[in-house]
Amino acid sequence: MDFFEAQDRAKRRTNRLVVLFVFAVLGTIAASYLAACLILSFTPDNELRFSNEAPPTFVWDPQLFGILAAAVVTVVGLASLYKWSQMRHGGSAVAELVGGRRVDLRTTDLRERRLLNVVEEMAIASGVPVPAVYVLENEPGLNAFAAGLTTSDAVVAVTRGTLDKLTRDELQGVIAHEFSHILNGDMRLNVKLTAIVFGILVIGLIGRGILQSLGRGRIRGGGGKNKGGGLALILAAGLAMMIIGYIGYFFGRLIQAAVSRQREFLADASAVQFTRNPTGISGALKKIGGYALGSTMLDRRAAEIGHFFFAQGFRSNFGGLWATHPPLPERIRAVEPRWDGQLFEPPELVDVEKESFSSGAGFAPGAVTREVVPEDPPAPPPRIPFQAAAVVAGIGALTEEHFRNAQALLGALPAAARDATRDAATAVPLVYALLSDSAKPAALDRQFALIAQHSSDADASSARELHHSLATLDPAARLPLLQIALPALRQLDAAALDRFATTLDELVHADGSVTPFEFALQKMLLHQLALAQKPNAAVHFHSFAPLAGDLAIILSVLARADGSGDAGRVTRAFAHGVAQLPLIAGQLALQPAATCTLEQLDSALDRLTASSLPIKQRALTAAAHVVGADGTVTVEEGELYRAIAATLDCPAPQLAG
């Protein structure tokens, strides 16, 4: 299943969830009306009467039904909106809601560094922005979750037990499972589920609050002969609301559990496919079954997001009905068919501080901890093989090849550059250094002067130092290095971010022209930082026709991106892309070089970002056929394509080769 199919399936599940929610609300309205009729049948002349003189009578009262329907819809709607508002700021809001602590990117804790390293590997391999990483310090059980509304605001959180008790391979399997949820569009659905279930529950909470207030004597029924009747009416209303609310909550939890369970097997299988190591995730599941605490969460606030977790976080009160995850034996056998049924037997604790990183407990195999400078600069990289169909199929995919490429790339990064990604104060000059032009000393001095003018002298000095460290950096590693720096850059405050964006723009346009790499870096970086702050993106275009002009510009820019100036080659490449858009092929014409600059590409991409997912898929397919018309691309062409995909929120992994 590819990225676009997974996203479409998530959208269909969301639509079904909305239908189920509507039925739940209608059921709540019907139950409320019946309860009101029952209560009112005992209150002739507004006075309670408990006798058997006449049985309760139910008469259709449109006015009463309308009042109750409006009240239920208002209460449920406002409650759901309230819960949504708590989580609409993205994955960080969810992690902090359950007590998560953000891992310092400069941490010296070896377990935390190992976790950061695994998350970075997964992000580089799958092409998504590196998520922020959180640890639930007070949770000794083995569990984890991914949360967010888009790939740009996603976070990965693990419990302290997961950090302490899992080997690197097992941790890798768990994180790969969570990345599957990120890529399959499950995170946004999880947030909607949480808001919906809370909206249904709130009626029961109101009823319980009324009963508790009566018990504490905070509600009085007035004086005289009506006092007893008033209290009885309040008691009956509170009891009815609590029963109705919790009945709705019961079915809401059933919906939550059913939606969650069906995704876990797919995420497990994706993790195995990604790492090619079934013992990693099966080992983690066996440890959950072997340790006494298992995957249990102690913080009751985490119950609201039980369907987010890697494993069952809470005991199901109704057998398997409320279970958000399949039974452990079923999940283990799905990835390890010959499992003998034996779970993990806890040994004495492993001291990871004394384990060798090369043994699999620490960083990726081949990771370097010091910078190695070769005697001679590396030769210019050859053109990269590029098959359009395979590249599009690889968008958002979890593959072993991408994973191994990511490990090798991270292991070869200069230590100074890798360290600079760990803090916002050094990540900013690192980005400036990536834009520095070492081929032109005069231009280089001018760029550092611009940094000092628009940012600070300290940033200019740091950028100059990092520029020397990047001298041996493989050009193909520039965008992945940027991905690793994203978590630190997200921590910039509004003023610092505005200053950073201004300086970035000055550097890109310092020499009066913009290269494909400069465009790719600026566009990808600023788009993903903006999306992390405001993860809700509206869809305005559902057909190709309004976007024909924008698509023509995108395909024209890509056709001319190789810089060969060969008119025949440009025309053929453009035609390859147009063939993938048959519905509007007649409206697409190759644009003159003067009218299809990278500035026009920027505007066209902004409009295409607001299109539906099927349009984005066809646009990326057409773009891939233009870029790879001859079966190969340069590094800069590949970076430009990845930047376009990232701007459309479709994660394209690092190109092989």
Residue 63: per-residue pLDDT: 83
Q: If DSSP codes are grouped into helix, strand and coil, which group holds residue 338?
A: coil
| Helix spans in 42-90 (H) | 62-87
CA distance 175 to 168: 10
Confidence of residue 657 (pLDDT cuts 50, 70, 90): low
> Degrees (nearest 5) of the Cα angle 467, 470, 475?
125
Rounded distance, CA 28 to CA 585, Å?
Answer: 51
Select from 199, 229, 207 the least CA-distant residue to 32: 207
Give, in degrees to the nearest 5, the angle at Cα 594 between 593 and 595: 95
**What percent of the chain lies above the pLDDT cut of 70?**
81
Q: Is the pLDDT of residue 318 over 60?
A: no
The per-residue pLDDT for range 55-102, each reduced to its tens digit, is: 455 567 788 888 888 888 888 888 888 888 877 778 898 899 889 999
Residue 597's contacts (CB-CB under 8 Å, 6 or more residues apart) are: 514, 557
Cα first-last separation, the chain: 24
pLDDT for 372 equals 39
* CA–CA separation, 96 and 360 (whole Å): 30
Please state, in angstroms and rounded to a whole number, the distance separating the CA atoms of residues 2 and 653: 13
Sign of CA dihedral 641, 643, 646, 651: positive
Using pLDDT thresholds of 50, 70 and 90, give the confidence band for residue 50.
very low
- Assigned token pair, 120: 């970075």
How does residue 322 score in pLDDT terms, banded at 50, 70 and 90?
low
Active-site residue among 178, 304, 637, 639? 178
Kindly tell me the burial class for residue 499, based on how many C-beta atoms sit within 10 Å of its own C-beta (0-12, 13-18, 19 or more).
Answer: middle
What is the model's pLDDT at position 201? 76
The residue to which tokens 């003159």 are assigned: 592
What is the Cα–Cα distance from 55 to 203, expressed in whole angstroms? 28
Predicted pLDDT at 654: 76
Q: Which has the closest alpha carbon to 102: 93, 127, 110?
A: 93
10 confidence band (pLDDT: 50, 70, 90): low
Indicate the average pLDDT of the chain: 80
Answer positive or negative: Cα dihedral of 398, 399, 405, 408: positive
Give pTM, 2 decimals: 0.75
Task: Give φ, ψ of 566 to 5 degrees.
Answer: -80, 110
Strand residue runs (E) in 103-174: 132-136, 144-147, 155-159
Task: Report which DSSP code applies to 519.
Answer: H
Residue 71, Cβ neighbours under 10 Å: how many? 13
Supply the angle between the helices 635-647 and 516-533 in degrees, to the nearest 10. Answer: 20
Whether 178 is catalytic is yes
**pLDDT band at residue 317, thresholds of 50, 70 and 90?**
low
Span 463-480, pLDDT tens digits: 999 988 888 888 888 888
Most confident of 206-215, 365-374, 530-539: 530-539
Instruction: Find the mean pLDDT for residues 626-647.
Output: 87
Which run of H or of E encompasses 447? Answer: helix 441-454
Q: Provide the CA 288 distance to its chain's centre, in angstroms.
A: 25
Instruction: Give the model's pLDDT for residue 178.
Output: 92
CA of 617: how far to CAs of 7, 289, 604, 622, in Å?
A: 11, 41, 16, 9
Contact (CB, 8 A) for 284 and 144? no
- Is the CB of residue 190 less than 8 Å from the CB of residue 308? yes
* Least trusted range by pLDDT, from 343-347, 355-359, 588-592: 355-359
Helix (H) or strand (E) holding 384: strand 384-385
List, as own/partner pairs, every contact residues 35-38 make where C-beta atoms lie below 8 angstroms and the sequence separation is at least 24, other chains included. 35/240, 35/243, 35/244, 36/64, 36/68, 36/240, 37/61, 37/64, 38/240
Confidence of residue 11 (pLDDT cuts 50, 70, 90): low
Look-up of token digits 């019946």: 34
Per-residue pLDDT for 39 more than 80? no
One-letter amino acid identity for 374?
A: P
Q: What is the largest CA-CA distance in the chain?
A: 103
